[in-house]
Chains A and B, each alone.
Chain A
Amino acid sequence: MNRRVTVAYLVGLGLLLLAPMFIYPILVMKVLCFALFACAFNLLLGYTGLLSFGHAAFLGTAGYVTGHALKVWELPTLLGLLAGTVAAAGLGWVIGSLAIRRQGIYFAMVTLALAQMVFFFFLQAPFTGGEDGLQGVPRGTLFGLDLADDIKLYYLVVAIFAGSFWLIQRTIHSPFGQILKAIRENEPRAISLGYDVARYKLLAFVLSAGLAGLAGATKTLVFKFATLTDAHWHTSGEVVLMTLLGGMGTVFGPVVGATVIVTLQNELADKVGSLVTVIMGAIFVICVLAFRRGIVGESLALYKRVIGQKPL
Chain B
Amino acid sequence: MAEDCILETHGLVKEFRGFVAVNGVDLKVRRGHIHALIGPNGAGKTTCFNLLTKFLEPTRGTIRFNGIDITREAPEKIARRGVVRSFQISAVFPHLTVLENLRIALQRKLGTSFHFWKSDRSLDLLNDRAMELLTSVGLEAYADMVTVEMPYGRKRALEIATTLALDPELMLLDEPTQGMGHEDVHRVMELIKQVSANRTILMVEHNMKVVAGISDTLTVLARGSVLAEGPYAEVAANPLVIEAYMGTEVTELAAPAGH
SS class of chain B's interface: helix, strand, loop or mixed? loop
A179's partner among B94, B104, B122 (CB-CB below 8 A) is B104
CB-CB under 8 A from B119, the residues of chain A are 170, 173-174
Number of B positions contacting A (CB below 8 A): 37
- Give the CA-CA distance A197 to B113 in the complex, in Å: 11
Contact with B along A175-212 (1 / 0, CB 8 A): 11111011001101111111111011001000100000
**Which single residue of chain A is at the shortest CB-CB distance from B53?**
A192
- Give the CA-CA distance A181 to B103 in the complex, in Å: 12
Contact B84 A185 (CB under 8 A): no
Contact B104 A190 (CB under 8 A): yes
Contact B91 A186 (CB under 8 A): yes
The reply on A171 being an interface residue by CB < 8 A is yes
- Give the CA-CA distance A179 to B87 in the complex, in Å: 19
CB-CB under 8 A from B113, the residues of chain A are 175-176, 178-179, 195, 200
**Contact A185 to B108, CB < 8 A, known contacts A170-B117, A174-B119:** no
- Give the CA-CA distance A257 to B87 in the complex, in Å: 38
Of B17-25, B75-83, B184-192, B241-249, which binds chain A? B75-83
Contact B118 A175 (CB under 8 A): yes
Contact A192 B84 (CB under 8 A): yes
Contact A185 B112 (CB under 8 A): no
Contact B93 A185 (CB under 8 A): yes
- Give the CA-CA distance A250 to B80 in the complex, in Å: 33
A188's partner among B55, B107, B114 (CB-CB below 8 A) is B55
**Which single residue of chain A is at the shortest CB-CB distance from B148?**
A185
Contact B115 A176 (CB under 8 A): yes
- Give the CA-CA distance A26 to B91 in the complex, in Å: 49
CB-CB under 8 A from A191, the residues of chain B are 55, 75-76, 79
- Give the CA-CA distance A288 to B100 in the complex, in Å: 30
B79's partner among A173, A176, A192 (CB-CB below 8 A) is A192
**Which single residue of chain A is at the shortest CB-CB distance from B159?**
A189
Contact A171 B76 (CB under 8 A): no
- Give the CA-CA distance A171 to B114 in the complex, in Å: 10
Contact A196 B53 (CB under 8 A): no
CB-CB under 8 A from B166, the residues of chain A are 193-194
Contact B93 A196 (CB under 8 A): no
CB-CB under 8 A from A197, the residues of chain B are 76
Contact A188 B87 (CB under 8 A): yes
Shortest CB distance B148–A (Å): 10
Shortest CB distance B86–A (Å): 8
**Which single residue of chain B is at the shortest CB-CB distance from A197?**
B76
- Give the CA-CA distance A185 to B118 in the complex, in Å: 22
The reply on B45 being an interface residue by CB < 8 A is no
Contact A175 B92 (CB under 8 A): no
List which A151-179 residues lie within 8 A (CB) of chain B.
Answer: 167, 170-171, 173-179
Shortest CB distance A61–B (Å): 22
Contact A174 B116 (CB under 8 A): yes
Shortest CB distance B63–A (Å): 16
Contact B75 A175 (CB under 8 A): no
**Contact A189 to B116, CB < 8 A, known contacts A178-B104, A196-B74:** no
Q: A residues engaging B (CB < 8 A)?
A: 167, 170-171, 173-179, 181-182, 185-186, 188-197, 199-200, 203, 207
Complex A-B: 5 CB contacts under 8 Å: A174-B120, A176-B115, A192-B75, A193-B162, A194-B79
Given contacts A185-B94, A192-B87, A195-B76, 4 further A-B contacts (CB under 8 A): A175-B113, A176-B116, A189-B93, A193-B104
